[in-house]
Structure 1
Amino acid sequence: MTINLVWFKRDLRLSDHQPLADAIASGRPTLLWFNFEPWLVTDPHYDERHWRFIVESIRDINRSLKPYNTQIYVTYGDAVEQLQAWHQQFTIAEIFSHQEVGLLNTFARDKQVAQWCASNNIPWHEYPTGAVRRGLTHRKQWQAHWYKVMKAPLSTSDLSRIQPVAAASVDYRTLPKPWFERHSAFQYGGPSAAQVTLASFLADRGQAYHYSISQPLRAEQHCSRLSAYLAWGNLSLRECYQAAVKKRQESGWKRPMNAFLSRLHWHCHFIQKFESETAMQQVPLNRAYIDYPYRSDAQVELHLNAWKKGQTGYPMVDAAMRCLTQTGYINFRMRALLVSFLCHYLHIHWQHATTHLAALFLDFEPGIHYPQIQMQAGVIGTNTIRMYNPEKQAIEKDPTGQFIDRWVPELAALPLALKQAPYLMTAMEAQMYDFQLGEDYPLPIVDIDEYRPVARDTLHRIKKSSTAQKEAKRILARHVVSR
């Protein structure tokens, strides 16, 4: 039997899926395939929370495919070896997939697949992800292109025309058991959950979006909560864009929908930046910061571990890290705080944030992750350097102390001012509240004024250097959007 093969990666949906639509429309039997790759499963950027989300997504899709007598077939192994096995079993005529803006290792794998396809004379049709353009070296007319893509009709697959292929799949029982254990603290994967989340955002939650996004408790409720569904492709960006535009037209939600739409634009902007300069995974976008003098003393590992565990002695930092660890989600401002605290207040290299935070973010998207971490670390050289004071962030973004109460419960009995900054507690207050700093909650691992001026002065000195300014011009020419 000669077949088409649709290779699912970070596009786990049936709606607005051009590769699927075109494969079905060809009239040839079509095999739907997802492959777990051992080297990616063990990659430190990933955690079982990601594989669980993928399993949930595939099982949800397969429930939708059951009436059509087909499914996404799952395999576990090397992608090229599995393609060879499919080809020997069926004879692959054409392969259809979305382009993946992933890590350097997935890009290397795609090049191997391309070589295999060429050697076997098999056309591989790769379709853009969102409005991201592969190999782009400038942003001329990029914004016009983005709007053109977002406004284009959704690609609808006629599933009634699919010609099923009966194939062998991995027995789910052979995959790691934790991938199938439901964790209520995490968002559930799959297009069905994604559509419910989008609907609830546009029905009522999103009305307060524009003034809730910076406060972690309000963001949990009023942000879209679509980031994980976009990262794993349970929804397309175009579906979200068109639904938000429709909501703006039919309601009085102009400000919240404009704010949301601007962030959908940023989504593609940052992925495009990474796609155009994948070296960001290893070095700063602005090469002047390559030799930035981060700490290398004996306490770096101790401080790094305290940051990872949410035991820094700064409640807002610790609450954000513990929340992220337990739920896979934290709002944008708290993500910025975590990176800023590590790089500016602990003066530890931004690379120490990359894999740790990636493994915690349920919505880990490589193309957004690396540009954002470098921007928050201040090593881009074209943005305002922002150093988020953890005490100030606690006062402004958790004004009632409820977020700290939830995630740092050992401080819950203290009055608001002390739970936001327990290190200011006097001996009399410690006795009054029966609270011992260093026992009931950690002492601050550093004085926030110890490394901050060092980081500030060093970052600004490098930013003013001729090398950094030359690099900044290169970056602006390559990555700044022009209409």
Structure 2
Amino acid sequence: MPAVSEISPAGPPEVVWFKRDLRVEDHTALAHATAAGPVLCVYAVELDYWRQPGTSDRQWQFVHECLLSLDAQLKSLGTALEIHVVPVIQMLDALHLRLGPFTLHSHQETGGLWTYARDRAVAAWCRDHGVRWHEYPQNGVVRPVSRRGRRFKEHWDAWATAPLAHLPTQPLWLGPASGRTVSLLPTAVKADPFPCAGRQRGGLQPARDLLDSFLAGRGQDYGAHMSAPATAEQGCSRLSPHIAHGSLSLRQIAQTALQAREAAPRAHWHRQLGSYVTRLWWHCYALQVLENQPAMERQALVPEMEQLPRPMDRARFDAWRLGRTGWPMVDACMRFLHHQGWLNFRMRAMLVTVATHTLSLPWRPVADWLAELFVDFEPGIHYTQMQMHSCMAASPVLRLYNPVTQARELDPNGKFVRRWVPELRAVPDDWIVMPWAMPATARHRWGLMGSDDYPAPRVDFEQVHRSVKAEIAALRSSLDLQPAPGFNERPRQTARAQRTARGLQQGEAKLPAQLSLF
């Protein structure tokens, strides 16, 4: 491996800029660059990005591990990753000064407004410096959407089954500049409000292990286990942070799952794998919604829905974000998320609707807080969910999650609640979902003498939900509001499942009301 970055006589340098694609396998940008000439692999630690709302140190720790894994993968091929702890434009200036003319390669990124603006600045820099920038899709998103030319499901099927990208047998490399190796990586980028001891680990091997164990049997009851947080922890593939940060390509995951489905008998396991692959393309469709409407990160897709009364109440917000609402299932899920950095999607939806409807909080601070907690934060998934469940997309079906009903359905014996809300550990099953309803003598007996032990709910959710439904119905009717494009609801997959499947094959994808992904 070269010790310094010197221009090879084989031709001008090809620079691969790694972003949310921290791998070597099925890396289209790297494959094209190595086919063209000597390659330098770079990554910029953008501290300004890590200061944005929705970013967190728990996310950085996962990325840090992915970068160490990527560097090890590159070293096995004869090179290493060059690290820059500066804004990307400064990195490009330094590379241009050192290398002279070069070609830039990267994957397209469907991210938030900050990365969108950053990429526009990179495009302008490339134009000003005569640098060709080749961008390659790394999922089913089409940019611009006018190029799609076919229905989204058809496009995604073609993309997912296309051959994986491979490197040439003997690529030419440019080694990193002296002193710009992974040793430059910061160990932390910001303070995390909660320890995330249960966080998943980043890198290629953890991703492979998860995929292998899911397909080897962990996913056998995927459909039955995805809704309850306790069973979803093992029953879901748990690949979402690896997909979000690119330590394993989504196309690799899709093709491996499709191969397993073809090999499986056309019975239970075959259906579970089909359900999983369906969620992979729902993932890309959600990203496509953000790609088409990037302002949805901060703006309601149907602006009129902002007329709903949602003032910021700091006491209510703190009770929700700290897991002290008084609804045991809500608080258990929030505390689980503090510790794990992950939560299944049905419970994510419950946290959003409880915050934005039951507690009548504004959706933006809710979105920012949850984004910080999710190690698998993916803007396209996160903001489509936020817009839908806070009703800022004016979705025709309003989902209001009753905390008591969810607890009875998903944690009937209170095992999950008792694990994550230890204040209720001694409370008997009869009261575990509604501890506030206990007589005073029972509260005293089970150690709940006052609100400092465990609070009572701040509102009557049944009364509030009736009021919320009436408010939303009146607003939609008075202004004749239509749902935002891309947010038409799918029918539920009950007796109509076959007709729904045929409709999705024949028509445009419709974003489901509940993305129970991965």
TM-score by length of 1: 0.93
| From 11, 19, 30, the counterpart of 1:9 | 19
Contact 1:6/1:31 (<8 A) preserved: yes
What letter corresponds to residue 128 of structure 1 in structure 2?
P
Partner of 2:121: 112
Would the aligned equivalents of 1:68 and 1:159 in 2 still touch at CA under 8 Å?
A: no
- Output the CA distance in 2 between the equivalents of 1:98 and 1:423: 52
Q: 1:277 is matched by which residue type in structure 2?
A: Q
Deviation readout 1:423-459 (Å, 9 max, x if unpaired): 1111231233243241321122222234322221111
Residues 317, 390 of structure 1: 8 Å contact kept? yes
CA distance in structure 2 between the aligned counterparts of 1:301 and 1:450, rounded to whole angstroms: 22
Residues in 2 aligned to 1:428 and 1:97: alpha-carbon distance in whole angstroms: 65
Q: Which residue of 2 aligns with 1:73?
A: 82
Q: Does the C-alpha gap of structure 1 residues 158 and 184 become closer, same or farther in structure 2, counting only changes over 3 Å? A: farther
Amino acid at match of 2:22: L
Asked if the contact 1:194–1:235 (Cα under 8 Å) also holds between the matched residues in 2, the reply is: yes
Q: Which of 258, 266, 270 is equivalent to 1:254? A: 270
Which residue in the other structure is 1:279 paired with?
Answer: 295
Q: 2:219 aligns with which of 202, 206, 213?
A: 206
- Counterpart Cα distance in 2 of 1:36 and 1:193: 22
Please give the alpha-carbon distance, in whole angstroms, between the structure 1 residues aligned to 2:61 and 2:101.
29
SS in structure 1 of the partner of residue 145 of structure 2: coil
Q: Distance in 2 between matches of 1:209 and 1:66?
A: 37
The 2-side partners of 1:256 and 1:41 are apart by: 37
1:263 counterpart = 2:276: no
Report deviation, 1:465: 3.9
Aligned match of 1:37 = 46
Q: Letter of the aligned partner of 1:157 in structure 2?
A: L
The reply on whether 1:157 has 2:183 as its aligned counterpart is no
* Aligned partner of 2:210 among 197, 216, 219: 197
Q: Tell me by how many angstroms 1:69 deviates.
A: 2.8
The equivalent of 2:69 in structure 1 is: 60
Following TM superposition, by how much is the alpha carbon of 1:204 offset from its aligned partner in structure 2, in angstroms?
1.0
Runs (4 or more) in structure 1 with deviation over 3 Å come to 137-140, 168-184, 471-477
- CA distance in 2 between counterparts of 1:133 and 1:337 reads 31
Identify unmatched segments of 5+ residues in structure 1: none
Partner of 2:153: 143
Q: Which residue of 2 aligns with 1:482?
A: 508
1:433 aligns with 2:446: yes
State the shift of 1:169 in Å.
4.7
Report how far residue 170 of structure 1 moved. 4.3
Q: Residues 140 and 482 of structure 1 are in contact (CA less than 8 Å); yes or no, is this contact kept in structure 2?
A: no
Equivalent pair of 1:288/1:467 in contact (CA under 8 Å): no
Identity across aligned pairs (percent)? 36
Report the CA distance between 1:472 and its aligned residue.
Answer: 4.8
The Cα shift of 1:467 comes to 4.0
- In 2, distance between residues paired with 1:95 and 1:431? 67
Query: Does the 8 Å contact 2:196/2:339 carry over to 1?
Result: no
Residue 327 of structure 1 and its aligned partner are, at CA, apart by 1.0
Q: Deviation per CA, 1:451-480: give whole Å up to 9, x if none.
A: 3222211112223344413x5579669xx9
How many Å separate the matches in 1 of 2:278 and 2:477? 30
Q: Is the 8 A contact 1:8 1:33 kept in 2?
A: yes
2:334 corresponds in structure 1 to 321
Distance 1:336 1:82, change over 3 A: same
Distance in 2 (CA, whole Å) between partners of 1:215 and 1:128 is: 34
Q: Which one-letter code corresponds to 1:163 in the other structure? A: W
Q: CA deviation at 1:216?
A: 0.4
Within the candidate set 358, 375, 378, 2:371 is matched to 358
1:454 aligns with 2:467: yes
Q: Per the alignment, in what secondary structure is the counterpart of residue 161 of structure 1?
A: coil
Provide the C-alpha distance between the structure 1 equivalents of 2:91 and 2:134, rounded to a whole number of angstroms. Answer: 18
Distance in structure 2 (CA, Å) of the matches to 1:353 and 1:283: 14
Q: 1:103 aligns with which of 112, 117, 131?
A: 112
Give per-residue Cα distances to partners, 1:331-374, cap 9 Å, x unaligned. Answer: 11110110010011101111121111000000000111101111
Change beyond 3 A, Cα 1:29–1:172: closer
C-alpha spacing 1:395/1:437, structure 2 compared with 1 (3 Å) = farther
For 2:33 and 2:484, locate their aligned partners in 1 and report how far apart those are by CA, in whole Å.
43
Structure 2 residue runs without a partner (length 5+) = 1-6, 490-503, 510-518
The amino acid that maps onto 1:13 is: R
Contact 2:82 2:182 in 1 (8 A): no
- Please tell me whether the aligned partners of residues 31 and 164 of structure 1 are also in contact (alpha carbons under 8 angstroms): yes
Q: Which of 242, 248, 263 is the equivalent residue of 1:235?
A: 248
Letter matched to residue 273 of structure 1: V
* Letter aligned with residue 19 of structure 1: A
Moved more, 134-143 or 357-366: 134-143
Provide closer, same or farther for how the CA distance between residues 92 and 355 of structure 1 changes in structure 2, counting only shifts above 3 A.
farther
Tell me, in whole angstroms, the C-alpha distance in 2 between the residues paired with 1:259 and 1:474: 21
Structure with greater helix percent: 1
SS at match of 1:207: coil
Q: Deviations over 1:368-398 (max 9, x none)?
A: 1101111111222234101000011111011
Moved more, 173-182 or 37-46: 173-182
Distance verdict in 2 for CA 1:327–1:447, change over 3 Å = same
Equivalence for 2:516:
none
State the distance in 1 between where 2:231 and 2:150 align. 37
Contact 1:75/1:169, CA 8 A, preserved across alignment: no
Corresponding residue pairs, total:
476
In the alignment, structure 1 residue 88 sits paired with structure 2 residue 97: yes
The answer to whether the 8 Å contact 2:81/2:182 transfers is no
Q: Distance in 1 between matches of 2:245 and 2:339?
A: 20
When normalised by structure 2's length, the TM-score is: 0.87
Q: How far apart, CA to CA, are the structure 2 residues paired with 1:44 and 1:266?
A: 26
